[in-house]
């Protein structure tokens, strides 16, 4: 199924139009000063470079107190958050009080460290939560101005399980308006910036989580993903994330609630700086359902079958994959083959070029009860449908309470059919069958996380379909781990998706752990060791002039 001449022509035409819009946007967009060259301060407190599971062990052994760890993260947040705008509401006073209670509990515990580890595996470790999730006493607006006064009275189940494991929430982080855009920007909290380059986006919708973790101001966090909302921010911010097999982690307690067929596509999962934290976090967040994943079973990477898909096959709607990302994926293949003695098979999957059409059709399809999903325009109005054309007019006058991205989605929805075409259903079913047969119970697929490195702010408005590289796996229900692969020539994070068959979450998690050791994992965005040469030369020139 090679691309037809018409598809190639449409692709060239679309990219030409996008370049024109880019040029116009760059001329009229407000300049952001030195955002492209500004850097976060480097991490100086060694506690901020310790994985969560290891921190919990040190706290249990009284090698460090929970108060010291929590205070270290509060200090880091206060240092970097004015630059990245990731945490939108803190609970620092309550967190320090809870940390003091943890230290007292450890002092009084007579059963020994093993008892605490079994009962409270994250005792004393701080974490952050996407604002779309209910966290008691914290706002739950999902960036909607009309929900500004909404305060959660309870915890979402996934948040409650982490707290029950002893973890201490520090606050909630920014997201895109109503969690349906890949830039975390809304008119309530503003825009979140990428810690590696403040002029770039942090992704969405869990962009605040990605940014705060990537910036070294949080070690673990909670995100949700219906089209890549965990994986895209983790990719752009150089950290790890996992979209579990559909239905494993409870999705309740977040706004907006999914409807239609969407509950089968939405996933709640962990985001973190260190690969070793993913599996224990998933085990905790999944609760009793974790037994379905056999997470304790040993994984021998040498016995797995690996497949590499370098791109989606050339959809005319999507940007070409950045050459640096293609090379990074090739390096992964070479590393696996040389180190593990496996043969990574490069394959093509033709149906992937219809990823956006499949995702859009299934997201708008009615549920088993025949009811269509709640319209985005109705969600924007908090139950009362807004008129997107009117909102667009108000936006031009600076009077709308909604972002351009949200208004655009509501406009697109007008033309979206609620019934998938037979052609798209056939492509989806064929893709589902072929991938499940390919991966089985011992296969891992390497696939780009996104065709571009982290774009400049608002640029996704011109490439709105690029999320399809992640979104297709929500529809298929497959587990996916996002893994960082170092920095590009521009100093931006690179990465890759690791995909496995249903309920085989432990396979990509184990592969991510291996790739972290091979490629270095997360990098401190404030470290000059990984800074692009242009920034280093400017810093030297500045110091010489003074």
Count other C-beta atoms under 10 Å from residue 162's C-beta: 25
3-state SS of 57-114? HHHHCCCCCHHHHHHHHHHHHHHHHHHHCCEEEECHHHHHHHHHHHHHHHHHCCCCHH
Q: Give, as one character, the DSSP assignment of residue 31.
A: P
> What tokens appear for 462 in the block?
């011109």
176 belongs to the catalytic site? no
Q: Look at residue 113 in the predicted model and tell me its pLDDT.
A: 87
Torsion of CA 52, 152, 209, 74, to 10 degrees: -60
Torsion of CA 521, 525, 531, 534, to 10 degrees: 140
Strand 87-90 to 220-225 pairing: unpaired
> What tokens appear for 145 in the block?
């101005």
Give the pLDDT means over successive 10-residue stretches in the chain (546 positions): 54 53 49 68 98 98 98 98 98 98 95 91 99 98 97 98 98 98 98 98 98 98 98 98 98 97 98 98 98 98 98 96 98 98 98 97 94 95 92 95 96 86 96 98 98 98 97 98 98 98 98 98 88 42 36
Count other C-beta atoms under 10 Å from residue 370's C-beta: 7
Catalytic residue (one of 229, 246, 315, 449): 229
Q: Look at residue 39 in the predicted model and tell me its pLDDT.
A: 86
Catalytic residue (one of 130, 163, 428, 456): 130
CA atoms within 13 A on the CB side of 457: 19
Strand 443-447 to 305-308 pairing: parallel
Q: Look at residue 545 in the predicted model and tell me its pLDDT.
A: 38
Residue 132: strand, helix, or coil: coil
Which domains are seen in the chain, by residue range? 36-345+443-520 (3.90.1300.10)
> What tokens appear for 152 in the block?
């959660």
Q: Look at residue 534 in the predicted model and tell me its pLDDT.
A: 40
Q: Look at residue 539 in the predicted model and tell me its pLDDT.
A: 35
205 belongs to the catalytic site? yes
Q: CA 317 to CA 463: how far, in whole Å? A: 8
Q: Look at residue 38 in the predicted model and tell me its pLDDT.
A: 80
Catalytic residue (one of 141, 176, 184, 205): 205
229 belongs to the catalytic site? yes
Q: How far is CA 370 from CA 299, 315, 418, in A?
A: 42, 31, 11
Count other C-beta atoms under 10 Å from residue 384's C-beta: 9
Strand 220-225 to 126-130 pairing: parallel
- Measured in degrees and rounded to the nearest 5, phi and psi for residue 325 equal -70, -35
Q: How far is CA 410 from CA 191, 371, 378, 518, in A?
A: 20, 19, 9, 44
């Amino acid at each position: 199924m090679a691309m037809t001449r018409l598809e190639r022509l449409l692709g060239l035409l679309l990219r030409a139009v996008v370049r024109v819009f880019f040029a116009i946007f760059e001329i009229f967009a407000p300049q952001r000063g030195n955002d492209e060259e500004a850097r976060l301060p480097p991490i100086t407190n060694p506690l901020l470079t310790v994985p969560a599971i290891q921190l919990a062990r040190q706290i249990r052994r009284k090698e460090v107190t929970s108060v010291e760890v929590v205070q270290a993260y509060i200090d880091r947040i206060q240092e970097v958050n004015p630059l990245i705008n990731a945490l939108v509401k803190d609970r620092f006073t309550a967190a320090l009080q809870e940390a003091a209670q943890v230290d007292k509990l450890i002092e009084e515990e007579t059963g020994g460290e093993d008892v605490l580890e079994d009962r409270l595996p994250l005792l004393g470790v701080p974490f952050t939560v996407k604002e779309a999730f209910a966290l008691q006493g914290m706002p739950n607006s999902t960036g909607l101005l009309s929900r500004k006064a909404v305060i959660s009275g309870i915890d979402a189940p996934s948040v409650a399980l982490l707290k029950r494991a002893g973890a201490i929430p520090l606050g909630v982080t920014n997201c895109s308006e109503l969690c349906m855009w890949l830039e975390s920007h809304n008119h309530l909290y503003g825009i979140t910036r990428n810690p590696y380059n403040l002029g770039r986006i942090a992704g969405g919708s869990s962009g605040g989580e990605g940014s705060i973790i990537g910036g070294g101001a949080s070690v673990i966090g909670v995100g949700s993903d219906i089209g890549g909302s965990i994986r895209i921010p983790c990719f752009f911010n150089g950290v790890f994330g996992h979209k579990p097999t559909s239905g494993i982690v409870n999705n309740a307690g977040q706004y907006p609630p999914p409807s239609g067929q969407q509950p089968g596509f939405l996933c709640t999962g962990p985001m973190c700086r260190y690969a070793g934290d993913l599996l224990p976090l998933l085990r905790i967040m999944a609760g009793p359902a974790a037994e379905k994943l056999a997470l304790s079973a040993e994984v021998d990477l040498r016995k797995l079958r690996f497949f590499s898909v370098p791109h989606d096959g050339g959809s005319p709607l999507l940007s070409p994959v950045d050459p640096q990302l293609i090379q990074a994926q090739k390096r992964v293949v070479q590393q696996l083959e040389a180190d593990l003695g496996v043969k990574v098979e490069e394959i093509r999957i033709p149906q992937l070029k219809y990823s956006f059409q499949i995702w859009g059709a299934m997201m708008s399809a009615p549920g088993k009860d025949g009811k269509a999903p709640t319209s985005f325009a109705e969600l924007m109005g908090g139950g009362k449908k807004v008129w997107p054309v009117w909102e667009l007019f108000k936006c031009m006058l600076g009077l709308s309470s909604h972002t351009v991205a949200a208004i655009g989605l509501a406009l697109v929805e007008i033309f979206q059919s609620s019934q998938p075409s037979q052609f798209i259903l056939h492509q989806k079913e064929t893709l589902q069958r072929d991938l499940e047969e390919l991966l089985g119970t011992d296969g891992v697929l390497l696939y780009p996380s996104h065709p571009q490195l982290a774009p400049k702010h608002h640029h996704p408005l011109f490439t709105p379909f690029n999320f399809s590289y992640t979104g297709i796996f929500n529809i298929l229900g497959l587990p996916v781990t996002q893994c960082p692969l170092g920095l590009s020539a521009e100093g931006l994070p690179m990465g890759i998706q690791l995909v496995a068959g249903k309920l085989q979450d432990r396979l990509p998690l184990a592969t991510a752990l291996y790739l972290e050791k091979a490629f270095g994992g997360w990098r401190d965005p404030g470290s000059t060791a990984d800074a692009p040469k242009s920034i280093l030369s400017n810093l030297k020139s500045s110091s010489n002039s003074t």
